[in-house]
Amino acid sequence: MSSITVKDGTEIYYKDWGTGQPIVFHHGWPLSADDWDSQMLFFRLRGYRVIAHDRRGHGRSTQTDLGNDMDTYAADSAALVEHLDLKDAIHVGHSTGGGEVARYVAQYGGGGRVAKAVLISAITPVMIKSASNPGGLPIEFFDGFRAGMANRAQFYRDVPEGPFYGFNRPGAKVSQGVIDNWWRQGMMGGTKAQYDCIKALSETDLTEDLKKITVPVLVMHSEDDQIVPFADSGPLAAKLLKNGTLKVYKGLPHGMPTTHADQINADLLEFIKS
């Protein structure tokens, strides 16, 4: 296994395949680098170097109870990028990984490290409802996720069987393999880290991060996203970016990189080559 040890002793597992321009993939909660299998194979076969890591507390990385916050997630990403000496990279983040990308690019993306970024079904700019974000989700929604962690073995069935992949929609083509793989990835990680990550993904305000980013950014979001509601995410994030482009999908789920990999991969390739 390939891994690096960051400043606080946490080991971060990563995959690094191929040569060429690097594409770095940042996964969502509570998953792992494996959630990018379709994208990593697709781009590896097209001459790109593909990298994905397990966020601390997730997958094969250390199940630490420390540093489960967006600043540390971004710092871990920066440590990996420095270790691999990546330049001119494209950073792609899904859901919580989109927040990680925004903070990483804003704080560490200078000096030619980053060429472009992509936010897919991302938590940007901020998810939780407040006086300054009246369209956000109430804290009770996230409290429900925290309560679910008391029996995460069942909860990690309920989420992919329902809203994450849109399998609760009438006529949905349900994939048991996709559900099982989501459960497998989630159960690999540490309960405490995943519990803490709920606060990080819901309450971190990435507004100022988005404003700082100058490289081209593609924002990909579906109007039928049941995890990160469209109206309070994709359009707002795109407006805050200096060089952002919003690509809107209709009827696709939050986990569209998995359920609609062919479409998402083609759109990613078009943006990367543009």
Q: What φ, ψ does residue 246 adopt, rounded to 5°?
A: -100, 125
Residue 169: HSE in the Cβ half-sphere, 13 Å Cα cutoff: 14
Query: Choosing from 32, 61, 95, 121, which is the catalytic residue?
Result: 95
Answer yes or no: 95 catalytic. Answer: yes
Q: How far is CA 16 from CA 27, 52, 53, 68, 258, in A?
A: 15, 7, 9, 24, 20
Strands (DSSP E) found in the chain: 2-5, 11-17, 22-26, 49-53, 89-94, 114-120, 217-222, 244-249
Query: Tokens standing for 23?
Result: 């594409």
Query: Choosing from 225, 232, 233, 260, which is the catalytic residue?
Result: 225
Shortest CA distance to 57 belongs to which of 23, 90, 27, 25?
27
Answer yes or no: 225 catalytic. Answer: yes
Answer yes or no: 260 catalytic. Answer: no
CA 143 to mean position of chain CA atoms? 21
Query: Choosing from 53, 58, 221, 254, which is the catalytic residue?
Result: 254
Shortest CA distance to 62 belongs to which of 23, 14, 20?
14
Distance (Å, whole) CA 23 – CA 173: 30
> Which residues belong to the active site?
95, 225, 254
